[in-house]
Amino acid sequence: MVMDAGTALAGKSVVVTGAGRGIGREVALELGQRGARVVVNDVGAAINGTGTDSTPADEVVAEIRAAGGDAVANHDSVAEWASASRIIGTAMDAFGCIDGVVNNAGILRDKFFFNMDPDDWKAVIDVHLNGSFFVSRAAAPQFRAQGSGAYVHLVSTSGLIGNLGQANYGAAKLGIAAMSKCIAMDMARYGVRSNCVSPFANSRMIGSIKAGDAEAQARLAKLQAMEPAKIAPMVAYLVSDLAAAVTGQIFAVRANEIFLMSQSRPLRSMHEATGWTVETIADRAMPAMSQNFYPLDRSQDVFTWDPV
């Protein structure tokens, strides 16, 4: 008999960071609907990381409870070890266990690299990369002790592929993907899984696009179909026992599409028995390898077709 999603998630204690709005909110609601007990973490900051507001997390908790689920709010920051540890502590205090961690919290401070202030670099790294490590590390002792657990880290094609004006964000997200793979390897002996999801979802940026002719309007409608709620089933699946054999992978979700993303492997090799010099590298190695060079692609240059 194949396990259903309700059985695979029922009673699990799952922390979702940045769960007050957007994708995190939809993930928390999906998990709650499927019987998981959810810690809804959100500091309620603006998109650039400034300010705090307990309302978003509290409202998601109220929505889960109103639908018959079980949830508690946490308003701690992921960006510091002590406060990130309190997020996991909230799950242990409320539910007595921790079964899953969804690292979703994030901020944006986009600027071209040559204009990027060191504070903008550090703030984004602190929330995304350090925050994902802190929350994941805080859960690790319990995962090891019980011999089970699932991490799901939200990454981005800004890191996996590249994007303009996002050196901080892209570096953090690619760092998270590398961290996830290493977690999967380190924790495999304890029955713990770690995977990444790179989401495409409707945002305020897409909402600001002004459609002109009929063709542009049709494309905008397809872009707007990338609802945050469409990301949630994949995340919930990876947390659930249905994904017991899935670890160390990177998935992308765009509207109704799921992609398994590649991971870095050698493309071509060159051998020189006597060793390379600057001149022979220029004369032989680079001309042979250049046909496989990656161009300066952005996400939209790789995903050239409309979402379906």
The pLDDT tens digits for 249-288 are 999 999 999 999 999 999 999 999 999 999 999 999 999 9
Please choose, from the candidates 173, 20, 199, 34, the residue with its C-alpha nearest in 3D space to the C-alpha of residue 100.
34
Residue 289 lies in a domain: no
- Predicted confidence (pLDDT) at residue 211 exceeds the cutoff of 60: no
Span 75-84, average pLDDT = 98
Query: Domain total for the chain?
Result: 1
Three-state SS at 39: strand
Mean confidence (pLDDT) of the chain: 93
Residue 281 lies in a domain: no
What is the strand order of the sheet 257-260 is part of? 70-74, 37-41, 13-16, 100-103, 149-154, 192-200, 250-254, 257-260
Residue 228 lies in a domain: yes
pLDDT computed for residue 218 by the predictor: 67
Residue 303 lies in a domain: no
Give the helix/strand (H/E) hosting 29.
Answer: helix 22-33
What DSSP assignment string belongs to 216-228? HHHHHHHHHT--G
- Predicted confidence (pLDDT) at residue 213 exceeds the cutoff of 70: no
* 169 is a catalytic site residue: yes
CATH number at residue 255: 3.40.50.720
Residue 270 lies in a domain: no
How far is residue 246 CA from its own chain's centroid? 16
Residue 61 lies in a domain: yes
Facing residues of 252 across strands? 198, 259
- Predicted confidence (pLDDT) at residue 210 exceeds the cutoff of 60: no
pLDDT computed for residue 164 by the predictor: 94
Please choose, from the candidates 109, 116, 128, the residue with its C-alpha nearest in 3D space to the C-alpha of residue 172.
128
- Predicted confidence (pLDDT) at residue 1 exceeds the cutoff of 50: no
Structural domain span for residue 56: 5-264
Contact 179, 173 (CB under 8 A): no
pLDDT computed for residue 214 by the predictor: 72
Q: In whole angstroms, what is the distance from residue 301 CA to residue 259 CA?
A: 16
Helix axes 118-125, 167-187, angle to 10 degrees: 30
Residue 56 lies in a domain: yes
DSSP single-letter state for residue 162? -
Residue 280 lies in a domain: no
Span 196-212, average pLDDT = 65
Please choose, from the candidates 122, 99, 97, the residue with its C-alpha nearest in 3D space to the C-alpha of residue 109.
122
Contact 234, 258 (CB under 8 A): yes
Cβ of 295: how many Cβ atoms within 10 Å?
Answer: 8
Give the global pTM.
Answer: 0.94
